[in-house]
Amino acid sequence: MKAVKRYGLRLRRKKFLVRAWRKGRSLLDVVNRTSGIKPADTLCIVTLRNERVRMPFFLEYYRDKGVGHFLFVDNGSDDGTLEFLAEQPDCSVWMTDASYKRSRFGMDWVNHLLRRYGHGHWCLVVDPDEFLVYPFCDTRPIPALTDWLDASSIRSFGAMLLDMYPKGPISTQPYRSGQDPFEIACWFDAGNYSIERNWQFGNLWIQGGPRARAFFAEKPARAPALNKIPLVKWDKSFCFASSTHMLLPRGLNLVYDEWGGEKTSGILLHAKFIDTFGAKAAEELERRQHYANSAEYRAYKEGLEQDPDFWTKWSERYINWRQLEILGLMSKGNWA
């Protein structure tokens, strides 16, 4: 890579960091328990809005996996999310009414918190409907993974977003707060993902899954990206460039092997498609705060009004991580 290009990326990174600082000023402390963070803790950083119903299971899931502290940015919830989170002993909460879109879909806020609290920690950046699955996650907590990554001098861990959906129309099975959403949305597409390389940032560009085939069959280039790098050993000079799809410096994006081998990787189970989805999509469309003029949500709306059933006879029912490994959606790599 040419020195000029490299320097260009460096400038971009600096710009993102300045931007994070600027946009970060709109964050108001609600409860700040970050002084309780221990040096070896894994941190989980989440931006959310009106996700009260999902929170109990979300916290339970990641506490069980060994996350030490949660940092939430609440973007104007009015359903009690903020109050609920403020009561949790291992959560720090910020709130802001600033524009989600103009903070680069929350990434400026996340970059700000990461720079401030994430330095030297393994940081997990997920949405409230994303659940990390990694090799041996049924027997080993996240610290086992991060210790191993540390020992292997690996700084970032990739996980593809796997859209999960129920059988039958989305609205038929109501979700109860605290319930495992994958009791309802337990189906997924096993092998229809298209992968390309983004040479500028060095990351992969993955599209496909049920959303691509149901909503974007005519315009596949607009289908949402599924490549994610949610777990990073943070340094204060790092930043997320576009959602959690890519990072700067670009070496962090190399979570795949180029010479035929498989690196260790995980999956983010995406519990977006449960009965709360219809209302959420309508609300987000109203707010117009999402990526590419909310093209995704407009497509959902059209799709949902016709037939909101992703299930086909070729859908795969989720069992465990070993199943995902065998299907080739994730890999143990050389972690045994």
User: Which residues of this chain interact with other proteins, rule CB under 8 A?
Assistant: 136, 139-141, 143-144, 147-148, 151-152, 158-160, 189-197, 204, 206-207, 209-210, 212-213, 216-221, 227, 255-265, 312-316, 328-336
User: Taking Cα atoms as reference points, which of 198, 169, 189 lies closest to residue 278?
Assistant: 169
Q: Which is nearer to other proteins, 99 or 200 (CB)?
A: 200
CB 68 → other proteins: shortest distance, Å?
A: 13
CB 100 → other proteins: shortest distance, Å?
A: 27
CB 143 → other proteins: shortest distance, Å?
A: 7
Q: Which is nearer to other proteins, 21 or 256 (CB)?
A: 256
For 257, residues 6+ apart whose C-beta sits below 8 A from its C-beta are 263
Runs of H (alpha helix) within 132-238 = 142-151, 209-215
User: Taking Cα atoms as reference points, which of 233, 39, 239 lies closest to residue 145?
Assistant: 233
CB 108 → other proteins: shortest distance, Å?
A: 26
In the numeric block, the tokens 């292997």 are attached to 152
For 47, residues 6+ apart whose C-beta sits below 8 A from its C-beta are 72, 73, 75, 100, 106, 109, 110, 127
CB 149 → other proteins: shortest distance, Å?
A: 11
End-to-end CA distance of the chain, in Å? 35
User: Taking Cα atoms as reference points, which of 274, 234, 243 lies closest to residue 43?
Assistant: 234
Helices 291-306, 277-287: axis angle to 10 degrees equals: 140
In the numeric block, the tokens 């040419």 are attached to 2
Strands 130-133 and 266-270: antiparallel
Q: What angle do CA 207, 212, 213 make, to 5 degrees?
A: 135
Q: Which is nearer to other proteins, 17 or 214 (CB)?
A: 214
Separation CA 333–CA 325 (nearest Å) = 10
CB 222 → other proteins: shortest distance, Å?
A: 11
- SS3 for 295? helix
Separation CA 16–CA 260 (nearest Å) = 34
CB 252 → other proteins: shortest distance, Å?
A: 14
Q: Which is nearer to other proteins, 6 or 219 (CB)?
A: 219
CB 104 → other proteins: shortest distance, Å?
A: 23
Q: Which is nearer to other proteins, 24 or 68 (CB)?
A: 68
Q: Which is nearer to other proteins, 2 or 313 (CB)?
A: 313
Q: Which is nearer to other proteins, 14 or 219 (CB)?
A: 219
Q: Which is nearer to other proteins, 182 or 256 (CB)?
A: 256
